[in-house]
Structures are given as C-alpha cells and as structure tokens.
Amino acid sequence: MTRNQKSKRRRDSSSDSEYDISSFGNSASCFAQYEENALNIKIIETDTIKDVFPTYLGSSVGTDLEHLRLEEFDYDRIVTFVPTQHRDLGEHQRRFLLKLKHVLQNDAADTSESGAESYVRVMVDVFLDECKLDDALELEIVPSRLKMKICDEHFFAHTDREGRKNETLVWVLQVTKHKNDIRYNNGDIQLVAGLIAACQHNYNIGNGKINPRVLYGINIKSDRISIMRTTFSEEYISSLFRGLPQQQLEVLKYPKDRGLKLSDPIERSQVLYLVTELRRHALSIDTSL
C-alpha cells in the first residue's frame, strides 16, 4: 500500500474528523495540541483531592509512610542535610533526604546537562520503594514498554515506570527530564498517551474488557508531583482500533498549576496521602475479572 493510500484509509477510518493520523508525531513524546485535539482529550485541573480519589476520607497516611513526614525538614534543611549529623534518623529517612537534596541542589545550579534528570530518577526510585507500591506480592513496578495503537498504526508511549497488580496496569509514571520543560502543557499529553496505552494493554489481556476502568498517571518534575485520573469506556478504547475517537476522554489533574513539593513538609504530607490512596486503589482491584 502506498503512503497516499494509507493516508486516505486513515482519513476514511475517522470519517468526519478534521484530523489525520498520518500527521501525528512518530511517537507520543512528540505529541502536542494537534494530537490532544485529535484524540478528543480534555484535561481538567482541580485542587480538590476527592476529584481524583472519590473515596478520600481525610488526612490519613499509611503507617508505613509516617517515617517520610519529616515535619522539621523544609527546603533549607534538606539542601544543607548532612547524614552524619542526623544519626537519630533511620537509614531510610536519611537516604530519602539525601537523594532529595541532590535533586534540589541540581535545580539550584540551573544546569542543562543531559544527565541532570538522573538525580530525579534516583530519588523517584527511592521514594517509590519507600511507598510500598512494589510489595513483591501483588504489586510490582516495572520499566515502561507501552505502545498506543490507532487503527493499524503504533506509537511508542513509553513512560518511566508502570505500576501493576499482577499483570494488570494500574498507574504509569513520567519523570520530566528538565525543570524548564518546553513541551506542550509540560508533557501532560505524553502522560495521557501512556494512560491510553496502558488501558489498551488491559483491554487486550482482558479479551475486550476494561479492568480497571480508572487509571492513574503520576508526573514528577524535579521535586514536584502531580497526579491524573481518568475513567475509560469500552467505546473510547475500541474506537481507537478503527480510527480517531468521537467520544471525549476527560482527564482530571491534581493539583492545579504546579505539583506538590516534596521539599515542603505540608505538601510532602499531601503527597503521602495521595500515595496511600493510590496503593489502596491498586490493592482493591479484582484482577480475576
């Protein structure tokens, strides 16, 4: 089939759409406003935790996360943290503070070195390990190898991590490589593409059924964390195998504007609340359906 024939077929597959799959970026990392509109994605920012976790009952942090509250450690105390001067802290607390310190110092240096994001990745891995989102039983964190399919076209939609319960994807995580992100909407569309690809994965292993319908996306930029929630329908996901969707995909993003800062004691506690809810959600999923 020639490129013109393929392009015509792509247009025909989404008959009334003004968008053309052949005009998409080669991978989700290149997606911007055009792809967001074509995929009928609507991102709604909110400052209400219950919008992303409807069962949220209040400021309850899992007992196994209490050690990360570290209420006396604000930005200034973290960037000057010296482990040997805080032997009163536990090993896990010192490790977390030390990795977070490296991230903050790297940001303060305002460097654009290609390896600068490595500090964030190391800190993220330590943080996720402490959050028990990989319990070596039901929950597991793995590198991402996701692909999103639209009609017969595949687009790499790699995030940085995937959170699973057994083989079912529950959340995806994206680390923004540079604090001064120049991507469209700070890369939100890349994370949503990862969520769509994750749902397609679940759809495929579920023999045409979506379980769970609700998926979460975590975006980490320096020490700031935001979270997305979206509820998928069979109509939206199945339509992608034929072409571009007519149904809108609504994505809720918490909080508005910027993420919650791990370097701020109050906002760090809010992040711990979110992680507690995310873990509770993951464990509640019945993967036998």
Indicate the range of 179-188, 207-216, 264-273 predicted with least confidence.
179-188
Helix, strand, or coil here: 149?
strand
Please tell me the predicted confidence (pLDDT) of residue 181.
61
The amino acid at 192 = V
Burial state string for 151-187 with b = 16 or more CB within 10 A and e = fewer than 16: beeebbbbbbbbbbbeebbbbbbbbbbbbeeebbebb
Whether residue 279 is predicted with pLDDT greater than 80 in this model: the reply is: yes
What pairing do the DSSP bridges indicate for beta strands 249-254 and 41-45? parallel
* Cα of 263 vs its chain's centroid, Å: 20
Q: Rounded to an integer, what distance in angstroms lies between the CA atom of residue 215 and that of residue 271?
A: 18
Q: Could you read off the pLDDT of 202-261 as tens digits, one per residue?
A: 999 998 899 999 999 999 999 999 999 999 999 999 999 999 999 999 999 999 988 999
- Mean pLDDT confidence for 86-100: 97
Domain parsing of the chain, residue ranges: 16-72+136-284
What 8-state DSSP symbol labels residue 257?
S
Q: Rounded to an integer, what distance in angstroms lies between the CA atom of residue 89 and that of residue 52?
A: 33
> Is the Cβ–Cβ distance between 277 and 58 less than 8 Å?
no
Please tell me the predicted confidence (pLDDT) of residue 107.
85
Please tell me the predicted confidence (pLDDT) of residue 198.
98
pTM: 0.91
Q: Could you read off the pLDDT of 33-88 as tens digits, one per residue?
A: 999 999 999 999 999 999 999 988 776 787 889 999 999 999 999 999 999 999 99
